[in-house]
Amino acid sequence: MRRPLTVALAALVPGALLGWIVYAAVGGPDGSATAAASPAASSPSPWSAPPPSTSAGKDGANGKGTTPAPTGSGTGPLAGKVVVIDPGHNTGNARHTAEINRKVDIGNSRKECDTTGTSTNAGYAEARFTLDVAHRLRTLLEAQGATVKLTHDGDSPSWGPCIDERAHIGNTAHADAAISIHADGAAQGDRGFHVILPGAVHAGGADTRPIVAASKSLGERVAGNFLRATGEQPSNYVGDGTGLVTREDLGGLNLSTVPKVFIECGNMRDSKDAALLTSGAWRQKAAQGISEGIVSFLHG
């Protein structure tokens, strides 16, 4: 994501993540930037994503495809829980600039339907990264019995969906947790992940007040487990070292009625971060950390 970050979560101090890591260790099992100071203990082999799962029942926001059908085993510790994964952007967006530049209502303003996202200097697109991590995350959550729905699965739909539709998919699924996966496009030297929390927005069709507290809990658990699993440090350019940022200008958060956060997994424009983001083994660690954060949140 390239949008400027507007509100830092100043109430949290840089040492907060350490507490979350301790919590994760003793307590059980979910815009843009990052670094791996110390790698995780294990290095899983790269995982190949399964073929997309789609449903013919519902068109996407653009009417040019179908949104992926929910999947899940129905058995396991997360049986009965619904998780919506939103892979940021879409590889087809660049071919549909007129469509994605159309403004949509996000409650307190109007913003573009979507953007193309960023890429590494070598051309590895953010949309490819986010979909790959989404597939890995889906597999991990399904293994625990969760019902998982993606807002899109690559070419289905062929562009978008728009940011308002991405929120709507989570809402209509009555998701117990939703997460939007991204990677940043900041300057060289800007490193570190951050999790974006919804601010308290009450304007137009947006009212995040009922989900702010739950989303914060989700975001804290995702951040702590992501740090532990990947060894990657919190952003050195937003969030004051906490790895958490609050924003009120993201339609995917403003229009959500279910607990939801964004995660910026790394800065694609920094050479050191790019080396991580383009590694299949590291992306598996990223998915593992996000999964463990979501599982911790759903277990309460």
99, 142, 232, 264: the active-site residue: 264
CB 65 within 8 A of CB 157: yes
CA atoms within 13 A on the CB side of 261: 28
Active site residue 264: yes
Q: Among the residues of 66-149, which ranges form H helices? A: 97-100, 126-143
CB 152 within 8 A of CB 160: yes
Cα(131)–Cα(214) distance, integer angstroms:
25
Cis preceding-peptide flag for 161 (omega within 30 of 0) = yes
Residues facing 184 on adjacent strands? 267
Catalytic residues: 264
